[in-house]
Amino acid sequence: MHATTTQSNSHQVPVLSLHGITKIFPGVKALDDVKLNLYPGEVTALVGENGAGKSTVVKILTGIYQPDGGTIYVDGTATHLPTAQAAAAMGITAIHQETVLFDELSVAENIFLGHAPRGVFGLIDRSAMVRKAAEILKSIGAEIDPAQRLRDLGIANKHLVAIARALSTDARVVIMDEPTAALSHKEIQELYELVEKLKAQNKAILFISHKFDEIFHIADRFTVYRDGQFVADGRVDEINEGELVKMMVGRNVNQIFPTRVPNIGKDVLEVDNMSHPTEFAGISFTLRRGEILGFYGLVGAGRSEFMQSLFGITHAATGTIKIDGEPITIRSSADATQAGIVYVPEDRGTQGAITALPIFQNITLPSLKQTSKNGFIRLAEEFALAREYTQRLDLRAASLDTLTGNLSGGNQQKVVIAKWLATQPKVIILDEPTKGIDIGSKAAVHEFMAELAAQGLAVIMVSSEIPEIIGMSDRVIVMREGRRVAEISRSELTPETLVRHAAGI
């Protein structure tokens, strides 16, 4: 992989610097020898696709993860950040995607929780706390009463409180992880002003965002990661959007996708004008036998929400759904499964496998009606069904009795897929099917997906990984902010078009 570095500001010493940082999770290198420099009074944008390693870096910087290799320098001195407290003491603070605050406490208490000013007998000095909170809030131009309870504030003001909290520790490095995700246009403008104020106070800011307009508006520098590796860094005013997109999505040479000759049949699933009061609106498409339909979009574009609605997990949606031309009503996941639609969720930890149950019981869980009679399970049929699908997925385990929690991630994923295939569906929705698994397992999942389509199953693949979308899809629907913004045929698929539609640039 080519790494380019622009050294236009080499006289300046970074406040914080990562050298050769590596972080390994069982079987996956989340970060592989990456670097990152943050300079005082400058905003550095960390850019990368999902799985590039951005959140792992944030966790290392804030003392939550320990790197397996490499060095962290603060003011040029090698440092360890063994705990979150140690990171805070070094002046490193993070404002997270989902603000971690306490609704029932006052604004001042939220700001100073854990480091409140102390008075006699070590008790909290309330008046000093309120006074200091008011000072900090004023310094960021927030008109919030420190005595107010947090729950009474709007989302934007809560964000300001989170920022005030970050500043209350005399932070020198402020990490903003997707700070604008929940903000309206006007609030984003206010956030920009705030970032300018922080810059004027000589703070070093790490800005993590998917949105290109924000990056080019606010950042002075950029650093690009891809698949846990450092790709490039430099000054934002020396590149353009197209170049940044290229660095971000540059195709991973290690990944080879199965060659397939799509054998596309008649329409299986017709979705017409599906809308939800708050999550998505006006989604229509048809899906045919043997087709792989990709759903691409940024995180929070409403893809998973739409799929969950299609599968009957969330209700409230309007619109019509037809299977083989017959209109169907889906009120629960059992209805959807009955109709032939199954959903393999993104998060196998919370939504996929039941880790305390053995493999065979996980696989037969949605098919219990077929393997039981009068409420009694027929063990022989259950085992036969489980065995058939573990063999089809080439899942190797000591025995079908093995607890699913004792399997590796890739094998757990296979259990989840086997579970849904065992219901003999017509449409299978795979939500981020290869998230968090290693390249070898990814290839196996891709092979398998191609095989399913070849057998006539209609596949919907929700993915945020551009290589996967391009490598696997016959057609791609791009969603942005809850709406379908583009439908791209296989011949017109390029990384640039995908990113442009998804980011709205």
Partner 1 sequence: MLRKLITSREALLLGAIAVLLGLISLRFPNFVAPSNLASVFNDTSPLILLAIGQMIVILTKCIDLSVAANLALTGMVVAMINVAFPNLPVAFILIIAVMLGTLMGMVNGLLVWKLDIPPIVVTLGTMTIFRGIIFLISDGKWVNSHEMSPAFKAFPRAELFGLPVLSWIAILAVIVFTIVMTRTTFGRAAYAAGGNSHAATYAGINVGRTQFVAFTLSGALAGLTGYLWVSRYAVAYVDIAGGFELDVVAACVIGGVAITGGIGTVGGALLGALFLGVIKNALPVVNISPFWQLAISGAAIIIAVTLNARANRRKGRIILKSAEQPA
User: Cα 172 to the chain's mean position, in Å?
Assistant: 27
How many CB atoms are located within 10 Å of the residue 252 CB?
A: 16
Angle (CA) 245-248-249 rounded to 5° is 85
Q: Using an 8 Å Cβ cutoff, are 297 and 464 in contact?
A: yes
Amino acid, res. 272: D
Nearer to partner 1, 25 or 216 (CB): 25
Which member of 128, 439, 454, 485 binds partner 1 (CB under 8 A)? 439
Binding to partner 1 by residue 381, rule CB under 8 A?
no
Binding to partner 1 by residue 436, rule CB under 8 A?
yes
Which member of 78, 113, 124, 377 binds partner 1 (CB under 8 A)? 377
Query: Total binding residues for partner 1 by CB under 8 A?
Result: 48
Binding to partner 1 by residue 409, rule CB under 8 A?
yes
Binding to partner 1 by residue 403, rule CB under 8 A?
yes
Q: In three state form, how does the secondary structure of 21-79 look?
A: EEEEECCEEEEEEEEEEECCCCEEEEECCCCCCHHHHHHHHCCCCCCCEEEEEECCEEE
Which member of 89, 264, 313, 485 binds partner 1 (CB under 8 A)? 313
Nearer to partner 1, 301 or 353 (CB): 353
Nearer to partner 1, 10 or 374 (CB): 374
Which member of 264, 357, 384, 486 binds partner 1 (CB under 8 A)? 357
Angle (CA) 347-348-349 rounded to 5° is 90
Binding to partner 1 by residue 437, rule CB under 8 A?
yes
Q: Using an 8 Å Cβ cutoff, are 150 and 161 in contact?
A: yes
Between 273 and 312, how does the x/- string for binding to partner 1 read (CB under 8 A)?
A: --------------------------------------x-
Binding to partner 1 by residue 63, rule CB under 8 A?
no
Binding to partner 1 by residue 354, rule CB under 8 A?
yes
What the block records as the tokens of 217 is 């508006």
Cα–Cα distance for residue pair 35/21, rounded to 1 Å: 7
Binding to partner 1 by residue 372, rule CB under 8 A?
yes
Binding to partner 1 by residue 270, rule CB under 8 A?
no
Angle (CA) 360-361-364 rounded to 5° is 85
Nearer to partner 1, 239 or 357 (CB): 357
Please choose, out of 103-111, 122-130, 215-223, 367-375, the segment that lies near partner 1 by the rule CB under 8 A: 367-375
Please choose, out of 89-97, 101-109, 268-276, 436-444, the segment that lies near partner 1 by the rule CB under 8 A: 436-444
Binding to partner 1 by residue 361, rule CB under 8 A?
yes
Where b means 16+ CB within 10 Å and e means fewer, 358-388 reads: bbbbbbbebbeeebeeeeeeeeeebbebbee
Binding to partner 1 by residue 405, rule CB under 8 A?
yes
Nearest CA-CA partner of 18 in 5, 34, 4, 2: 34
Binding to partner 1 in span 320-349, by CB under 8 A: 332-334, 337, 343, 345, 349
Q: Which residues pair with 106 in a beta bridge?
A: 149
Biggest distance spanned by C-alpha atoms of the chain: 78
Binding to partner 1 by residue 64, rule CB under 8 A?
no
Residue indicated by tokens 């490039």: 232
Binding to partner 1 by residue 355, rule CB under 8 A?
yes
Binding to partner 1 by residue 314, rule CB under 8 A?
no
List interacting residues with partner 1 (CB under 8 A). 25-28, 311, 313, 332-334, 337, 343, 345, 349-357, 361, 365-366, 368-369, 372, 375-377, 379, 401, 403, 405-412, 419, 436-441
